[in-house]
Amino acid sequence: MKKILFVLSIALGAMTFTSCQQETALNPNPEFDPNADDSAPTGGGSAATFLASTDPLNRAALLEDFTGVRCGFCPDGHVKAAAAQAELGADKFIIMAVHTGIYANPAAGWADFTTPYGTAIDAQADVAGYPAGTINRLQASALGVPAQRGGSAMSRGSWKTAAIAVNALEAPVNIGAEAKIDGNNLLTVNVDLYYTQGESAVNNINVALLQDGLVSKQSGGSPQNAYVQNHVLRDLITGQWGEPVTESTNASSRISKTFTYTVPADYNGTGPDGGGAVVLDDLKVVVFVTRGRVDVLNAIEIDIK
């Protein structure tokens, strides 16, 4: 983020202009608008540290990849998701691997990467087979691709096409975020929202914690007994369907929120049937805003400091 600060000094009838440059990490949506409203965001914070862009932007695509360790075709889904992300850009195509369904349920000798949330998300999408995915929780037909069974769930071959359609949609809300963790495993996530368009429906802020680099046995994987799982959903910090936005969501509204969460040492245990230990350096955060439970209006992925 570049800000240009003009300092006018008058001394002995001469004018001197100086400028300085400040870089702020973890702000993928830099903001500088000399005509912008300098009022403080709703809910706290200040205009000087506001993380969300005020420019009209298009939506990022959020893939919820319904997968499982005993699903033989799921590694091909991981490959297709990674290829779409490489082509479209990590800021335009965000992957969240939701381990759920019959091929992910706990079983002896297989890792358990399930969460308390996957079953409900899977049911809402109307998944008919695995791997499946939703793009921004929008109906597949609305994105120009076939649905598995009439809902938002689609097969892996449609993910990139659906994501391109989402990337062409205007985003009613822009998201800026930063995350840090202290020596006691306390994660703090600061989220700023800027509404470029008014929203009459209730919006929900969702904060998801993901982990890369988890090694497990994976049916169809290569190698099968030491397959690397990435983008694994570990927890939804804001709960099953997110935290409702109670502030005004009219056009030009600015909203700032802070979420805290203590990261555990592991999820579902560390044994061969568990979900593995947490490695702090492998964690990342995804923030997305929905209309109620569906229609992801925008999303952002950030690293943790």
Q: Residue 113: its pLDDT value, please?
A: 98
- What does the alpha-carbon distance between residue 32 and residue 251 come to, in Å, rounded to a whole number? 18
Report percent pLDDT > 90 for the chain: 84
Mean pLDDT across the stretch 171-184?
98
**Token couple for 70:** 């005993």
Q: Residue 39: its pLDDT value, please?
A: 38
- Could you tell me if 157 and 83 are in contact, meaning their C-beta atoms sit under 8 angstroms apart? no
Average pLDDT, the chain: 88
Q: Residue 161: its pLDDT value, please?
A: 98
Specify the range with the lowest mean pLDDT, choosing from 40-44, 131-135, 186-190, 279-283: 40-44
Q: Model confidence at 25, in pLDDT bands (50, 70, 90)? A: very low
- What does the alpha-carbon distance between residue 72 and residue 56 come to, in Å, rounded to a whole number? 42
Is the pLDDT reported for residue 212 higher than 90?
Answer: yes
- What does the alpha-carbon distance between residue 164 and residue 25 come to, in Å, rounded to a whole number? 27
Specify the range with the lowest mean pLDDT, choosing from 36-45, 109-118, 128-137, 198-207: 36-45
Q: Residue 96: its pLDDT value, please?
A: 99
For residue 163, the SS3 value is helix
Q: Model confidence at 48, in pLDDT bands (50, 70, 90)? A: low
For residue 121, the SS3 value is helix
pLDDT (tens digit, 9 = 90+) per residue, 230-244? 999 999 999 999 999
Domain locations in the chain as residue ranges: 61-171+204-243+271-282+290-303
Report percent pLDDT > 70 for the chain: 84
Q: Residue 41: its pLDDT value, please?
A: 47
Dihedral of alpha carbons 224, 155, 128, 298, sign = positive
pLDDT (tens digit, 9 = 90+) per residue, 247-291? 999 999 999 999 999 999 999 999 999 999 999 999 999 999 999
Q: Residue 43: its pLDDT value, please?
A: 42
